[in-house]
Chain A
Amino acid sequence: MTRNLKRPSLKRLAALSAAAVAIAWSGSAAAQSDTDTKDFAVVGNVPAMCVGGTLTGTGATFDMGVLIDINTGLLRNDLAAPPKILSGSFCSARSTITVNATPMAAQTFTSTPPAGFSRLVDYTATAAGWTTTPAAFATGAGSNPAAVQTRGTAFSGDITVSVGSFSTVGGANQRLVADTNYQGNVTVTLAVAS
């Protein structure tokens, strides 16, 4: 009887020992490893920016030449000038292009002209290539909703600036006062859209 009791007791002890080892081993396996991994993030940023590029071609002036038909004194109806190219333009984010213009005005004859005469010439300035619908500004218009166009993505490309649709301020029957310098100004603005 004594022997019979002792034998199961030893087996039980062995079983307990095995269980203890198993527990200890699983604890060790969770706490240590022959491989370790660490990571860290690398971050940076690029600011939204727009660059208008540079004008190519023959200078920065639309030279319209003589503005009137010398037989009638009225504004020529065939005024034209090659477009200007703004090359190297880009915006790194969503952007707007805005074109603004001032009428061509006599720079020497600055007083109010007499009846039947005008010292101002209206025209339409257009900036194309940036947006599907070119930005356009008519100096004689009360409002120019098309002057601002939005592009939803970054873009890099040429902007073609042109002028046209000339008309005499006051009406087509007004004659322009003589002046050696009629001058207007076209401004194209690229801006990051909010």
Chain B
Amino acid sequence: MKRLALTLLAAAALPGIAHAQATDTATADVGVSGTVAKLCTLGTPTPAPVDVGQMANTSGARVGKITVIAPRTVTLPGSFCNFAGSAITVTATALVSTDASAVEPGFAKAVNYTADVANWAAGSATVTTAATAGGGSPTASATGPTQPAPKVADLDVTLSNFTAPSDFLLTAGAYSGLVVVKLGPVASGGD
């Protein structure tokens, strides 16, 4: 009985083995992997450069002093970061006369303004320049809030609040400033 039973077991096992060896299909898994690098891109500033034109009053009680300069907006279209944890840093340099001569008492050779970069995070990145009458220390920088998700947007840079140091008379000449917008991971986010 014992022999018979073993034989039967062997017979029962054989069909199973014969079945596995006879199939015409084989299956195996091959992994496919890739990476996407962190990427931030800013659109081309439009319009640029920004020419605010003539900045001094030529008549009236404030003749020679800074006039009311309307805000200007520059758009950086299609700006994006494909990762969470990015922020805007805006660095603005005041409009300073290109004439290197020393400024005279009662005069200024710089025009300060506020640069505001909006439409990225919950709040905007805003900085106001604080150049001296002589054009010293014209550059200021600020970083806006963190954007917690990948985002694509048209960034609006608004220049406003144009003022002369101490509201002095403005020295004649051509003035030039610079706005730099940087989009990247927040400093603490690591990369």
Binding site for B on A (CB under 8 A): 28, 32-49, 51, 90, 92-93, 153-157, 192
Query: Are the C-beta atoms of A154 and B172 separated by less than 8 Å?
Result: yes
Query: Are the C-beta atoms of B172 and A46 separated by less than 8 Å?
Result: yes
- A26–B27 Cα distance when bound, in Å, is 37
Q: A40-B178, A45-B54, A93-B171 are in contact. List 6 more A-B contacts (CB 8 A).
A: A35-B40, A42-B178, A47-B172, A51-B64, A90-B106, A92-B64
Which residues of B18-57 are within 8 A (CB) of A?
37-45, 48-56
Query: How close is B65's CB to chain A, nearest CB, in angstroms?
Result: 10
Contact of B169 among A32, A34, A39, A92 (CB under 8 A): A92
Query: How close is B8's CB to chain A, nearest CB, in angstroms?
Result: 47
Contact of A46 among B39, B41, B54, B83 (CB under 8 A): B54
Query: Are the C-beta atoms of B42 and A38 separated by less than 8 Å?
Result: yes
Report, nearest first, the 10 A-B pairs whose CB atoms are least far apart. Answer: A35-B184, A40-B48, A41-B49, A34-B38, A93-B172, A48-B172, A92-B172, A156-B106, A42-B177, A44-B52
Chain B: how many interface residues by the 8 Å CB criterion? 57
Query: How close is A22's CB to chain B, nearest CB, in angstroms?
Result: 15
Given A32-B37, A38-B76, check contact A43 B95 (CB 8 Å): yes
Query: How close is A41's CB to chain B, nearest CB, in angstroms?
Result: 4
Query: How close is B13's CB to chain A, nearest CB, in angstroms?
Result: 38
Query: Are the C-beta atoms of B53 and A44 separated by less than 8 Å?
Result: yes
Specify which of A35, A40, A90 lies most central, judged by the most chain B CB atoms within 10 Å of its CB: A40
Query: Are the C-beta atoms of A40 and B45 separated by less than 8 Å?
Result: yes
Query: Are the C-beta atoms of B178 and A41 separated by less than 8 Å?
Result: yes
**B153 beta carbon closer than 8 Å to chain A:** no
B117-145 CB mask vs A (1 if < 8 Å, else 0) is 00000000000000000000000000000
- A41–B49 Cα distance when bound, in Å, is 5
A33 partner residues in chain B, CB cutoff 8 A: 39-40
**B183 beta carbon closer than 8 Å to chain A:** yes
**B68 beta carbon closer than 8 Å to chain A:** no
Q: Which residue of B lies closest to A40 (CB)?
A: B48
- A38–B180 Cα distance when bound, in Å, is 6
Q: Which residue of A lies closest to B168 (CB)?
A: A156
- A155–B104 Cα distance when bound, in Å, is 7
A155 partner residues in chain B, CB cutoff 8 A: 104
Query: Are the C-beta atoms of B58 and A35 separated by less than 8 Å?
Result: no
Between-chain CB contacts (< 8 Å), 16 pairs: A34-B38, A34-B39, A34-B83, A36-B41, A37-B183, A38-B181, A41-B50, A41-B178, A43-B176, A44-B51, A44-B69, A46-B170, A92-B56, A92-B64, A92-B170, A93-B173
